[in-house]
Structure 1
Amino acid sequence: MSRQLITFELGDQALGVDIMAIREIRAWSPATPLPNVPSYVRGVVNLRGVVLPVLDLRARLGWGTTEPTARHVIVVVRIGEQLQGIIVDAVNDIVSVPAEQMQPLPDTGDAESARFLDGVATIDDRMILVLALDRLIDQPNLAEAA
């Protein structure tokens, strides 16, 4: 059984998210900062009357911080019962990944690096890291902050 992913860029790295989790892709708009939230939470934006927490995916993955520009986008995803926005550099395309092209992450001895990933997909000589969205939010107070 194949899995459909929307792929996007963070720097020179390609990542993918299950297409069924995507609710919207919107242009970057500045987020209103919140006090006492983790450093990877950029704040909240108003999404047609809904307060949407915005996560800096680069910071969450431990790859530095994003300095958003007009070319960045917010991918609105459903994580559990709540909508979240994640900042990415650019959205690429939709790919179908057959089960045999999904690989588990290699054991690098650092469980922290693999914690947010479901695996690696190989599509046309490209390696796509597949995000485990449910693991991006591990702090119960984040949903309450929004």
Structure 2
Amino acid sequence: MQQEQAANKVTESAGSVISQMANEFLTFRLGGEEYGIEILKVQEIRGYDAITQIANAPDFIKGVVNLRGIIVPIVDMRIKFRLGSATYDQFTVVIILNVAGRVMGIVVDGVSDVISLGAEQMKPTPGLGSVIDTEYIMGLGTIEEHMLILIDIEKMMSSSDMGLIEQSIN
């Protein structure tokens, strides 16, 4: 454990692109695919509860919940990624995130695990041309024989079509 912490400190202080890419990710399912988001952005994982709908909100924004006095917008990732109609069952969870100082939640089909990926396990986003929008994909993780789509959740939540995080004008 101490060796791992020492290695992490060395990795953090190195500051190279490769060392920064060795991260821990929370993996979750959407449809038949597995995705990952940086674990440092995750605040908590909750069961899918009643959500208060907001009039005139985009389809992918399911509504809001009151989380210990904080009003939290909830985004359904299956609708956002156009993966078909969302079905909610006992495995459906809400991942509460803290992104750019803003608390928000995402609805996913189920949470799988927390995994560490080294730089050698991470591949850049494939060039798929303009047919597929890969703007929010930070890369692909390889774990044994399967692939994990790594989401840049901060870039996604701060995009203009989401409107959940104010854009800073420099």
Could you state the TM-score of these two structures normalised by the residue count of structure 1? Answer: 0.90
In the alignment, which residue of structure 2 is the partner of 1:132?
152
Query: What secondary structure is seen at the aligned counterpart in 1 of 2:133?
Result: helix
| Higher alpha-carbon deviation: 112-121 or 48-57 | 112-121
CA distance in 1, matches of 2:35, 2:28: 5
Point out the more displaced range, 56-65 or 78-87. 56-65
Matches within 5 A, 1:40-79: 40-79=60-99
Larger Rg computed on CA atoms: 2
> Which is worse superposed, 16-25 or 65-74?
65-74
SS at match of 1:114: coil
TM-score by length of 2: 0.78
Distance of aligned partners of 1:141 and 1:125 in 2 relative to their CA distance in 1, 3 Å threshold:
closer
What is the aligned residue count?
144
Provide the C-alpha distance between the structure 2 equivalents of 1:4 and 1:141, rounded to a whole number of angstroms.
Answer: 27
Write out per-residue CA displacement over residues 4-30 of structure 1, whole angstroms, 9 at most, x where no aligned residue.
101011111000011100000000002
Equivalent-residue separation in structure 1 for 2:83 and 2:135 (angstroms): 14
- Alpha carbons of structure 1 residues 9 and 141: separation in structure 2 relative to 1, 3 Å: closer
Instruction: Structure 1: give runs of 5+ residues left out of the alignment.
Output: none
SS of the residue 2:114 aligns to: strand
Q: After the TM superposition, which segments of 4 or more aligned residues of structure 1 sit over 4 Å from their partners? A: none
Whether the 8 Å contact between 1:11 and 1:89 is mirrored in structure 2 is yes
| Paired amino acid for 1:102 | M
Q: Can you list the C-alpha shifts for 1:42-74, whole angstroms capped at 9, x where unaligned?
A: 000111111110001111112223222232000
Residue in 2 that maps onto 1:10 = 30
RMSD over aligned Cα atoms: 1.7
Partner in structure 1 of residue 114 of structure 2: 94
Task: Identify the residue that residue 31 of structure 1 maps to in structure 2.
Answer: 51
Query: Higher relative contact order by CA 8 Å / sep ≥ 6: 1 or 2?
Result: 1
